[in-house]
Amino acid sequence: MTDLGETTMTSDEVDAYLRADGRFAAVATLRKDGSPFVIPLGYYYDGNYLYFSTTPHRSLTHRLRRDGRASVSIFDHEAIHGYVLVNGVVQEIDDPGNVLSLKMHHRYPKPGLEGSDDHDRIWLSVGRVVFRLSTESAVGMDQRKASGSIWALAMPDQTPSVLP
């Protein structure tokens, strides 16, 4: 596991962070020319994998089918923040009955549409493709764990013995 000093999350903290409501993933994939492309995306996490659901004709589907390498950052928006990074190769998997797609879809409330079967039907009507990414190599950072030093927050590997 990558060492981010005192701000490094334990595996239990990474697990809790990924399960928390309200976070999205920034998913980076590769274009044909090798340049990166990043999109925000909802996800579902089962303790071992991040799952992403998209439609068969979206560019994300085409990029991941061509080259499954992905880099994912899940982060929050708080001033003192944390993040989890996951890198690896995604796998396209079957999703009988759209179980995983709906778990991901239901993680994110739609104001005025809670519990709406109509919204689910519309969302599923174009078809769904599910990709999963192992979180085995996930690393997380939580600035709330820092001892209060601005050096520990900004540059944990360069903390001076005497502050300037």
Complete domains list, the chain, with CATH = 5-158 (2.30.110.10)
Provide the H-helix boundaries in 20-97.
Answer: 59-66
Per DSSP, the chain holds a count of helices (H) and strands (E) of: 5, 9
List, for residues 98-129, the tens digit of each pLDDT value: 999 989 888 887 766 666 677 788 878 889 99
59 vs 22: which has the higher pLDDT: 59
**pTM higher than the cut 0.75:** yes
* Average pLDDT of the segment spanning 55-73: 96
Whether 30 and 60 have beta carbons less than 8 Å apart is answered as no
pLDDT at 158 over 90: no
List, for residues 12-26, the tens digit of each pLDDT value: 999 999 999 889 999
pLDDT of residue 144: 82
- Residue among 31, 8, 42, 17 at smallest CA distance from 131: 42
Query: Strand, coil or helix: what is 72?
Result: strand
pLDDT of residue 163: 41
Tokens, residue 31: 């274009």
